[in-house]
Structures are given as structure tokens and as C-alpha cells.
Amino acid sequence: IQQIQASSIVEINGETAAVFGLPTKQTQTYRPRAVSYTASYTASNVKEIELLVRVANFDQPLKGGIVKSIYFGSQAAIDTEREYSIGFQLVTFIILLLHGLYAILLYVFGPRQKTFLMFFLLLLSAGLSIVSDHDSLLLIWLPLDYTWSLKIRLLSYIWLSFFSLALARSFSEYVTGTRLFYLYAIVLGIYSVFLLIAPAPLIYYSFAAKVFSFLYLFPLAWFVYLIGNMFIRNQPDSVFLLLGATSIVSSVVWGVFNYNIEMTRVYYPIDIIVAIIGFSAYGFKRYFRNSEENAKLNEQLRKADKLKDQFLANTSHELRTPLHAIMNIAQTVAVKEQQAMDGKSFKDMELLITISRRMSHMLDDLLDIVQLQDNLIMLQKEPLLIQSVASGVIGMLQFMTNGKPVQLKIEIAESMPPVLADEKRLVQILFNLLHNALKYTEEGTITMSVEIQNGQAVIHVSDTGAGMDEETQARIFLPYEQGSHGITDGRGLGLGLSICKQLVELHGGELTVHSEPGKGSVFSFVLPLAAPSDLPSVQNQPQQQSDTNEEVAVSSSFSDALTSAWPLQSSLSSFTDGKINILAVDDDPVNLKVLVSILSMESYNIRSVTSAREALELLSTERWDLLIADVMMPHMSGYELTRRVREQFSISELPVLLLTARSQPTDIYAGFLSGANDYVTKPVDALELKSRIWSLATLKQSVHERLRMEAAYLQAQIH
């Protein structure tokens, strides 16, 4: 007995074979199981079988009772046919369920791909239509009554049709009829609500009014039209969609034909499986086609990105020369016409110089980012005292705090051991971090501190500035990304922190940030401590004048070049009979020994000290012709030392030569602003150093000789 509507009682030769519900006049109940079942009868000496089926049709006013034919046969034949039918339904349902599982997982991983969601809903609707119709397997699994089984069956069919159309529209490259589609979706939604709340008799009346047939067949016809149109337009791989559409049409036609003229009671799964294969094959082909296109586009993007980087590098080089010309002209005009300009014009000229200097810094960042991407930056690691580097960087940025209630602080213990790093790049990292903190801190303090954790130096740069939210923190280390403040004020390109991060990673560390809006930020990175084998084997004592003839480990070719290429001694002797007194300051004794070795062949008296405080004490006790100072020194940087010197001596009275780790305009500007006469970039080139020392010493001696001659002339006039 495949389908009897509502409650029923089956009697065979007066014996009750099966009871489903209570088919009475007053009430009607339903058992929560399928209405498709088998009833068996066994008796001897019986020539006839009288079958009595009593049926109630309260919920089916139009077509109740025995809907499909009742079949007779042996128990084995009946069971075999039923098992085949149920088996085909279960296999098809499981196939749909697995495909639906894959589709929903792909949608979860990529929510923007709405096609996967529609495919999942299509498969879910198809699966429900299978288990709710034919042998009504859903009623075996769930405790549903007749009315809800009817509702689920009808809803699954109309939404199966809708999602087929929606999926075809998502596949099609020529989508039309959008308004009609949305109008149909609204009508379908209204009818679905009606099916959920209406009683069974009312649902059957709407079914008789062909509402269900229209909502089911109209989108299927539109679906077939779209697939056919895609095939005619030769859309790639549309033949698989045509196979799926043909299978769906075949399934519908076969279902209608078998419903009206029953050919078989066994479920026919071929059409629906072929349709799923067609849709899946199209999806896979489309995925692989898109993957190939994406690979080609990615390669094109990589080439374009490479060309972009090369363009940025070339443009930066080309812009640097005219930009420096603008800066030089502006500075010249500002100095020359300062008296003639009014206050506003002079401030505008200073603003022009500041903007030009900022643009120059941007160009340097662009060049650095290109070099980092091309792996062109090689580190020259050496043991460095972080105290010295921090003091020098603070000195470079001191001018940015003028007129701003911000205090720069260094909190590093005297006993902090040296770190292993590239001095130039470490200065660049700290400069960018401190510069960034100054940019976003209107008042308060900016502190640089160092601590040792797990045998490594952890460097912190903290500020009391604007701070950042979590979303900003997640992207500030990306190139050309800035916080909200940086975007609105237009300062910089958003490359500084990205450069810092990559330079820290080249050192084997990681740059991190901890921040809260309105509570400031803390940037931290790790550097390895210098191993004992990395430290130079010299005594950490000041180099005295008696050590000037001590042998230093310099290669023979380098020494020969110094001796033969620069015969300065004779020229100096011809200028003055006395020797030049030079005071050298560097916290690293090795650097002092190298400096003494370079100048040992010239007519110089060299006195070396390892701190700025010692140098200040010696300046007031003896006469000096030149001061050579390293910038990166603890307690007092070379910039601060130069400012102190200028409080006692003019530029001509005591020239100052600074040794800097970087040759960036900002470093040079900070040096000259503090009162230095000249600078030399480390690592020091010996010939360049000797040339600049000779030039400054000659200047000092010339001024001194000129003053001596003027004094002698005045004295002669007095006599």
C-alpha cells in the first residue's frame, strides 16, 4: 500500500492487518510514521481474499482515500521492490547531502561567494522533496503528522524550482529580468508563509487553483531558457549546465507522467543524479578556469608591482636633485633676505624648507622600501652600545620638540651590555619610531627603554600620544598604511613603520605594538646581545697621547694607501711650525685607536677621551685646534656636546667635526643646527677624514694667524 490519504484501517478476511489513526466521524488522529506500508496475510484452505480498507478524508476534500494503486504479490516480491525503491531514495539523498555539505563549507570559508549558498539550498530542497514524497521516508525519521508532511513536500518543490533559477542567474553572464525575478521571489515568499500557517484543506484548494503549479513550473521554464541562452552564446563550459537542465526537465516530465499513468512504483534516481553531476562539473570547471585566470592575473600584477617599484625608485632619484635644489635656494633666500622680509614671509619661507625636507624624507623612504623588497640591503652587524645610539637619535630629533610640551627621555641602565646590530640601520629604526611618536604626541613624554629578557635586549619606545584601536594596529606595519590621524594630516606616506618592521626582521627580531586610543602606544622589538667573541679585544680605557704610535690592526694595503696617497705633512709644515692639537671623543676605544692610527703620520697632537664630559673638562684646560666627536655617545650625544662647545667657542675659534652613522639630511641638519663645522659618515673613509681634518685645521690656523698679524699691526701702530 503505497499511499492512502489520512487515517485508515485495513482488514483482510475480517482480520485487522493494519491501523493508522482513528478514522471515525467525530475525530481523526495520525500516527507519526509513513503512510506507505505493507500488510501480509497467511491462511490455509482459502480460495479468496477479501480486502476491506476504511479511510477518512477529512484533510483532503478534493482527492482523498486510496491515491495510488494497491499491489498484491508474494512477501518476497513486495519487499524486494520496496527495498529497491527506498534504497535508491537513500543513495540519492546521501549524495545530495554530501554535495550540500561541501557547498556550505565553501560558503563559510568564502562568504562573498553567494553561489555556494544557493547551491546548498538547492540541494537541501531537492533532498527534502525526495524523502517527503514517494515512500515518505521523512515520516519514518521524524514524528510529523499528515498536514506537516504535506507542507514540507510542497515547500521543498517550489523552493527547489526557485533556487534552480537563482543558480542559473548567478552562472549567466547576461542577466536580465531582475525586477521580474524579485517580484516572483516576493510572491513565492508570501505563498510559503501561507503554506506554513494554512490548514490542509485550504492548501489543497490553492493547489486546485493552480497556484502551486504556476510557482513551480514558471521558474523551471525560465531556468531552461537561461541555460539554453548560455549554451547558444557559447558561454564557457555551459554544456554541463545544459546537461543538468535537461536532466531536471526529464525528471519533471517523468514525475508528471508517472503520477497520472503509473508505470512503476520504484523511485527513479538517474535524472536527479545526472543533474547534480552536471552542476558540479560546471562548478569545478569554473573553479579551475578562474584559478588559471587568477594565476595569470597574479603574474601580471607581480610584473606591474615590479614596474611600479622600479618607477618609484627612478622617480625618487629624479625628484631628489630638483628637490634639493629647491631646498638650497629656499635656504639661501631665507638667510640672505631675512632682514628684508617681514615676519610672515620669513615664516612662509621656513615652512617651505620644512615641507621640502619632509618630501626628501619621503623619497628616502621610497628608496628604502624598494631596496627591502629586492633584498638589496645587507647588514653590517657589530657590537653597539644602545645607550650611545639612543642618545644620538634623541639629539637628532630634539629640534622637533621646540615649542611643543613634549619631553624625550632615555631609561637605559649603565650596565646594559652591547647588542649585535647594524649601526646605520639601528639608528634608522629608532629614528623612525621616535619620529612617529613625536608626530602623534601633542604633549607628555616619549621614553626609550631597554630590558633584557631571555638573553636578548628588548627595546621599547613608548609615548603618551593619540594611541590606536585594534583595527589600526593590525595594518600600520603594511606599506602605505597609516592611522586615522596620519591620513587626515597628510604627513608621510605610511612607509616608516613598514621599513622599521622589515629592518627589525633582518636583524632576526620582530616589531610589535601595544596601544589604546587616547592612552599612547608602545613599540617594542628584540635585538640579540653581542656574544663575547663579537667584542673587540681591547682594554676599555681612554686612549692617551702616548698611545699614538701603538700599532693597530690595519691591513697592509690600506696602510700603504694612506701613506702614499696623502702627503699632508709637508704642506702643513710649510704653513705652520707648530703642531695641530686635536681632541677626539668616542665612547668606543676601538674607534679611537683607528682614528689615532689614521692620523699618526701627520703633524697632529691627538688627545682621546671616551665621554663628552671628559671632553668638556679638557676644553677649558688646554688650547685645541679641532674637536672630533662621535654622535652616538651615552649620557651626552655629539649634538649636545657641540651645543655646549658653542656656548664657549665660535665656529672659527674651535671647529667641530662630527662622526655620524647616517648621511641622511635629517642627521646632517641636526649636526649643523647644533653648531658643527663638518661631518664624516661612518664607517670612516681614511682619505676623506684626513682631507676634512686638514681643511678644518687649516681654517683654524688661518684665522689664528690673521688675528695674530692684526694684533701685531695694532701693537706697531700703538708704538
pLDDT digits (tens, 9 = 90+) for 615-646: 998 888 888 889 999 888 888 888 889 998 99
Around Cβ 224, how many Cβ atoms within 10 Å?
Answer: 19
pLDDT for 185: 92
Nearest to 559 by CA among 517, 591, 598: 598
- pLDDT tens for 159-218 read 998 998 998 888 887 778 889 999 999 999 999 999 999 888 888 888 788 888 888 889
What pLDDT is recorded for position 24?
Answer: 61
Helix (H, G, I), strand (E, B) or coil at 507: coil
Residue 101 and residue 93: Cα distance in Å, rounded?
Answer: 12
Helix 211-232 crosses helix 238-260 at what angle (to 10 degrees)? 150
Cross-sheet strand order for the sheet of 656-660: 604-609, 580-585, 626-630, 656-660, 678-681
Strand pairing category for 656-660 and 678-681: parallel
Closest to 509 in 3D by CA, of 460, 556, 542: 460
pLDDT reported for residue 492: 55
Q: What is the CA radius of gyration of the chain?
A: 45
Coil, strand or helix: which one is 674?
Answer: helix
Q: How far apart are CA 428 and CA 435, in angstroms?
A: 10
Cβ atoms of 526 and 458 within 8 Å: the answer is yes
Q: Are 122 and 155 in contact (CB under 8 A)?
A: no
**Is the model's pTM score more than 0.75?**
no
d(CA 543, CA 610) in angstroms, rounded, equals 8
Quote the pLDDT of residue 485: 53
Question: What count of other Cβ atoms lies within 10 Å of the Cβ of residue 78?
Answer: 15
SS3 content of the chain, % helix, strand, coil (to 5): 55, 10, 30
**pLDDT (tens digit per residue) in 657-680:** 998 766 666 677 778 888 898 888
Residue 94: Cβ-neighbour burial (10 angstroms; 0-12, 13-18, 19+): exposed
Predicted pLDDT at 568: 38
pLDDT tens digits for range 41-67: 777 777 888 888 887 766 777 777 777
- Can you give the pLDDT at residue 36? 64
Helices (H), 233-269: 238-260
The Cβ of residue 583 has, within 10 Å, a number of other Cβ atoms equal to 22
Predicted local confidence at residue 57, as pLDDT: 66
Instruction: Identify which of 708, 672, 674, 702 has the alpha carbon closest to the alpha carbon of residue 580.
Output: 702
CB 273 within 8 A of CB 92: yes
d(CA 624, CA 679): 18
pLDDT at 450: 92
Side chain identity, residue 527? L
- Tens digit of each residue's pLDDT (9 = 90 or more) over 534-588: 666 544 433 333 333 333 333 333 334 333 333 333 333 433 446 788 999 988 8
- Using CB atoms within 10 Å of the CB of residue 56, give its burial: 0 to 12 exposed, 13 to 18 middle, 19+ buried: buried
Find the helix packing angle between 270-336 and 114-132, rounded to 10°.
Answer: 160
Which grid coordinates belong to 507?
A: 636583524
What are all long-range contacts of 449-454, with beta carbons under 8 Å and residues at least 24 apart? Answer: 449/410, 449/411, 449/412, 450/386, 450/390, 450/411, 450/412, 450/413, 450/416, 452/416, 452/417, 452/529, 453/526
- Catalogue the E-assigned strands of 562-655: 580-585, 604-609, 626-630
Q: Treating both helix axes as pointing N-terminal to C-terminal, what angle do 638-646 and 612-619 enclose, rounded to 10 degrees?
A: 20
Q: Which grid cell sits at 321?
A: 636633485
